[in-house]
Amino acid sequence: MKDINTILRLDVSPRKTDSISRRLTQKAIDSMSAKGPVKIINRDLSEGLNFVNEGWIGANFTPAEARDEAQHQALIESDTLVSELEQADTLLIGTPIYNFSIPASLKSWIDMVARVGKTFAYTETGPQGLLKNKRAIVLVASGGTQLGSEIDFATPYLRHALGFIGISDVTFIAADALAQQAEAKIQLAFEAIESL
């Protein structure tokens, strides 16, 4: 086992202040740092990522040795995001739920890191995730959507998408349905984080 836990911290909320999901991720960082040495890779998805487009698709499906300069340029951001994920022992995602699902910036990150030959492979028995022995902790803030309810399309999708690239050890902690008793629910989430 490694001595240092490398944590890739993804903050998704566009709110830099008063963001509950950012409070949760910071609490998790503080808690994990207190338990042993950590290295943090910070990625603020609210600052924007490119979306998959035709040039990206063409570059992605061209063998690396055959790519021209424009294709290499098209994949630089994606390559960086994949590298950050490969380095991490723990993926820490702090996200709000928007309109019953994840924000577009988090979906864009997933699109950028789900790369055949890098994070998953096609096999005779179907797709196989390549990112093994990693853990994901997903900290969710929601005003009206309760996790696990029939209107929660965020957490089943995230569990499946992470599993698709090989990350099957996924823990969800929620400060959800915050329209009522917000501070009490945040405190319960903090306690769950401490118990990780």
Binding-site residues from annotation for FMN:
13, 19-21
First vs last Cα of the chain: how many Å apart?
A: 18
Cβ neighbors of 191 (< 8 A, separation 6 or more) are none
Give the residue ranges of the annotated binding site: 13, 19-21
Q: What whole-number distance in Å separates Cα of residue 179 and Cα of residue 62?
A: 48
CB atoms within 10 A of CB 163: 14
> Which structure tokens are listed for 48?
């924007």
